[in-house]
Amino acid sequence: MINLTEKEKSEILKISKNFVEIHQKIMKVEERIKELECESASLIEELESCRDNEFRFVSELSDKYGEGNLDPFTLTWMVLESKKETI
């Protein structure tokens, strides 16, 4: 068995310490990724709920005012005029 020199021991300890530090950083990043994935899933659910609410609201406006479209800029209901064919 050959004993390492103090310089070699110091170097391997430095390498080992660096490895552990990098590994810990990776673990923190992976943990943060999981947190962000959960947050993203929650936000997607909220967005889908908003879309459902928008669809429901527009449907209610259509029932109330007739077939049409909501103008998002003027916040007015644009009634679609039915096209009557004349012979």
Q: What is the pLDDT along the chain (87 residues), one digit of tens a residue?
A: 999 999 999 999 999 999 999 999 999 999 999 999 999 999 999 999 999 999 999 999 999 999 999 999 999 999 988 655 555
Tokens of 12: 């391997």
Residue type (1 letter), 51: R
- At residue 81, the pLDDT reads 80
- At residue 60, the pLDDT reads 96
| 4: Cβ contacts below 8 Å, ≥ 6 apart | 12
- Residue 26 is given by DSSP the state H
pTM exceeds 0.85, yes or no: no
